[in-house]
Amino acid sequence: MSKTDVSKGNGSEPERKVVQVVAALLRDGERFLICQRPAHKARALLWEFVGGKVEPGETKAQALRRECREELDIEIDVGSEYTAVDHVYPDITIRLTLFNARLSPGSNPPRALEHNDLKWITAAEIPQYEFCPADKDILALLKTDFLNRGQTPSTNKWEATAMLDSKRINLTEDGRVYLVPYILDASAEMPLSEGRPALVVIPGGGYQALSDREGEPIAMAFAAQGFQTFVLHYSVGQYASFPNPLIDLMRAMKVVRDNAAAWHIDPGHIAVVGFSAGGHLTASLGVYWNDPEITALAGVDPEDVRPNALILCYPVITSQFKAEQGTIRTAARGHEDEPEIIHKLSLDKHVGPHTPPCYITHTFFDSVVPVENSLAFANALAAAEVPFEIHVTQDGVHGLALGNHVTSLGPLLSNSKFAVWVNGSADWLRRLFGYEGPDDMRYPSAIERRR
């Protein structure tokens, strides 16, 4: 039985049942998915959006995910509400809520389990199909959004799946993946504050957990240097199979770039810093930001997620010689018999001219992630003629983070020689981006020189 409301008449009219129905605006670039009803059901062979009735005890999002599993054998991420309409039939009123939605990472492709056919169509193709009356009520709005804006409707609504509260931006409905922003105000007294560089921070933790020491303290250190900073809490543990964390990072990059104006960010100056396994994720973005399969899974345009620079701190890089096996094993979960995926996890094998400039820091005596990981990536950058700066400190254990008292758990995690990486990489980024201002920077930025 469906979840229903009953509208009371005025004494002369019969009671009218109100049925709560949800539907998904599933998008693939400029196309969206429609489904043809089977011949043996009401409104036979008419087209509709995937969805159905809200059952007792369900939220609308829960109902929509269930309907998508039952009708299309897919898993979806439910975004924000696109629109809602009431449609009156002779015996009932349909209260239809249409949600922005995307296929979840790792989902099966849609297949018709209960429908006669499926189609991905553009707005221009809407007149070619006969839709159910309730769905017709929203098509005019949909067509206007697609054609007048020249893009998928309300493209920013997914990022706000993504509800911005006082502390974080949720990137999944359940709040498992989220971005924590540290936004500095702009001021007329500081002209450069209107277009600050941004830094997305990726903590390590072997893809099993996230290190607090490599999160907020890093963001605060770079905020003090004038950067807008963000800490990404990405998929770990059972959710960490490649490319899920990379999809999280791509979506976070899109949120930052889409909101660049509101957050006083130069959209061409967005860097990423990662530590250990977070360094593996950061370097993954550096080599796969334009990978068509992964960007399609993330539902993003490559240029929206392109990093302008990387900072790699004792990064895991290779799945081969001198690999950190725990991190690689977690990233490869479910792909153990797929050598092409294992090869993809060796990031030094996929560096090319598309990879952004890098700042790399490591210690020679790191016994967890051998320094050969950083050296392999640096060698690949050199071979591809990608600018980089690398600093290897002889002494120091793994996981130094800031290398000072702020992130120290004891004397082994305080290392003044390693700690210079913060100021060093910040200066490197400012030179790279030409951010020092007209009085301080008389030569072109490294990015301009590379062009």
- Whether residue 162 has pLDDT greater than 50: no
Q: Which residue has the higher pLDDT, 169 or 363?
A: 363
Q: Which of the four pLDDT bands, split at 50, 70 and 90, describes residue 105?
A: confident
Q: What is the mean pLDDT of residues 95-104?
A: 87
pLDDT at position 80 is 73
Residues contacting 298, CB < 8 A, separation 6+: 105, 246, 247, 250, 251, 305
User: In this structure, are strands 51-53 and 76-88 parallel, antiparallel, or unpaired?
Assistant: unpaired
Q: Which of the four pLDDT bands, split at 50, 70 and 90, describes residue 9?
A: very low
What would the pLDDT profile of 247-276 be if each residue is shown by its tens digit?
999 999 999 998 898 889 999 999 999 999
What would the pLDDT profile of 320-338 be if each residue is shown by its tens digit?
877 778 899 999 999 988 9
pLDDT at position 175 is 83
Question: Burial, 15: exposed, middle or buried (Cβ in 10 Å; 0-12, 13-18, 19+)?
Answer: exposed
pTM across the whole model: 0.64
pLDDT at position 18 is 82
- Whether residue 5 has pLDDT greater than 70: no
Q: Which of the four pLDDT bands, split at 50, 70 and 90, describes residue 449?
A: low
Percent of the chain past pLDDT 70, that is, above it, reads 87
Q: Which residue has the higher pLDDT, 29 or 447?
A: 29
Q: Give me the residue spans of the domains in the chain.
A: 4-156, 164-450
Residue 345: strand, helix, or coil: coil
CA pseudo-torsion sign 327, 331, 337, 342: negative
Find out whether 393 and 417 touch, Cβ atoms under 8 Å.
yes
Residue whose pair of structure tokens reads 């890089």 in the numeric block: 317
What would the pLDDT profile of 403-422 be if each residue is shown by its tens digit?
999 998 888 888 999 999 99
pLDDT at position 375 is 97
pLDDT at position 398 is 94
pLDDT at position 115 is 93
Find out whether 133 and 37 touch, Cβ atoms under 8 Å.
no
Strand partners, 61: none
Least confident residue range of 11-20, 92-101, 213-222, 384-393: 11-20
Task: Note the CATH architecture for domain 164-450.
Answer: 3-Layer(aba) Sandwich (3.40)
Q: Which of the four pLDDT bands, split at 50, 70 and 90, describes residue 40?
A: confident
Least confident residue range of 139-153, 294-308, 333-347, 414-428: 139-153
Q: What is the mean pLDDT of residues 33-56?
A: 91
What would the pLDDT profile of 164-216 be if each residue is shown by its tens digit?
333 688 888 788 999 999 999 888 888 788 889 999 999 999 999 999 999 99
Distance CA(305)–CA(90), nearest Å, equals 49
Question: Which superfamily, per CATH, for 4-156?
Answer: Nucleoside Triphosphate Pyrophosphohydrolase (3.90.79.10)
Q: Which residue has the higher pLDDT, 3 or 266?
A: 266
